[in-house]
Chain A
Amino acid sequence: QSALTQPPSASGSPGQSVTISCTGTSSDVGGYKYVSWYQHHPGKAPKLIIYEVNKRPSGVPDRFSGSKSGNTASLTVSGLQAEDEADYYCSSHAVTINAYVIFGGGTKLTVL
């Protein structure tokens, strides 16, 4: 069960849009709708920002959006703001012999 594949880094200027990919297999991302994204500022608890591929919890700005195609999920942050600078992790429900949850390696988003 290797981690889902994310680019280690991404960047954009304020106001721009950035998309972060998360690639898995048919046993995880490609096989289920339970893909989530988390924003993690160092020293704080991670925060859920997208669940079930493209749903936003209450209070999360609509600048954050999610999608999935095949075995790859994506997080798009539109209208970048300074406070969006953080680490972003995807996760997915996964099943091989048993069910479990698998995370991506994380992407450091830098707002230039």
Chain B
Amino acid sequence: QLQLQESGPGLVKPSETLSLTCTVSGGSISSSDHHWAWIRQPPGKGLEWIGSMHYTGATYYKPSLKSRVAISVDPSKNQFSLRLSAVTAADTAVYYCTRDRTSTNIDWGQGTLVTVSS
């Protein structure tokens, strides 16, 4: 069974860059059938798709976040990562990594809370 685990700092200062990594086990990140995505949920709000990437390098980002987001994949470590620059308090959220097939988020990590605060 595929498992995903998010990791990274739980606290980031305003204007800095948020960096998270998702480690995939029980399956290969080099699957041609899947994309690897990041989704977040701010406290008390709904789910928000951030973006996804195929291991070949194709990336897709939410238009309103595109200027601040970068997703990368490291097949050698079976990991993928999220970088979100110039963060503000509005970026405080639980961040989930997922396995995606045809815009369907099939498998989810447990999520990690990232707080933006000085």
Contacts and interface: CB of A to CB of B under 8 A. Distances in A.
Looking at chain A, what size class is its interface with the partner chain? 20 to 34
Given A91-B49, A101-B37, A36 B104 contact: yes
Contacts of B103: 32, 34, 36, 91-93, 99, 101
Contact of A45 (B46, B49, B62, B109): B109
A106 interface: yes
B46 A105 contact: yes
B63 interface: yes
Interface of B: 37, 39, 46-49, 51-52, 60-64, 96, 100, 102-106, 108-111
Interface of A: 1, 3, 32, 34, 36, 38, 40, 44-48, 51-52, 57, 89, 91-93, 96-106
